[in-house]
Amino acid sequence: MQTGSEEQITVAAAADNPLAPSTASETQTDVENQAQENSWQPANIKFVKEDRLVVAANGANLRFKALENGIDLYTLMGKMMNCGGYGQCGTCIVEIVEGMENLSPRTEAENRKLKKRPDSYRLACQTLVHGPVSVVTKPGK
């Protein structure tokens, strides 16, 4: 009963918009196709000093992907004293040299820890990757 009224609404919308799908089944197919396309988008991470390219899923945590792939994020002090990824120690600092727009925004923890650092610096443990980026580990002060 409700299916018929939904189809009428879709057809009515199609009459106003030449780009709109003409039937309810087309609408469903389009939604499924779009979901399939967006389900796994690579967010390649280039580690510049190490000359390594790591393939990550959209939304991957930068610290996790680095450690998982044997990328050394920490100085000696950081190795001994890091907070384990909770944004408290500031030792997982990295510089983003390309693709800053493909990262999650700075967190409050980063705003506190990176106050005196350039905008291109991030805490890897607080950063989610949504597209291609180039990263310099252990950047200078």
Closer residue to ligand FES, CB minimum distance, 23 or 86: 86
Q: What minimum distance in Å lies between the beta carbon of 107 and ligand FES? A: 10
Stretch that binds ligand FES, among 12-20, 45-53, 87-95, 132-140 (CB under 6 A): 87-95
Residue 127 interacts with ligand FES (CB under 6 A)? no
Q: What minimum distance in Å lies between the beta carbon of 124 and ligand FES? A: 6
Is the separation of the CB atoms in 87 and 114 below 8 Å?
A: no
Kindly state the greatest CA–CA separation across the chain: 68
Is the separation of the CB atoms in 104 and 127 below 8 Å?
A: yes
Residue 82 interacts with ligand FES (CB under 6 A)? yes
Region 90-109 residues binding ligand FES, contact defined as CB under 6 A: 90-92
Q: What minimum distance in Å lies between the beta carbon of 27 and ligand FES? A: 44
Residue 83 interacts with ligand FES (CB under 6 A)? yes
Q: What minimum distance in Å lies between the beta carbon of 85 and ligand FES? A: 5
Q: Tokens 């009963």 sit at which residue?
A: 1
Binding residues for ligand FES, per CB under 6 A? 82-83, 85, 87-92, 123, 125
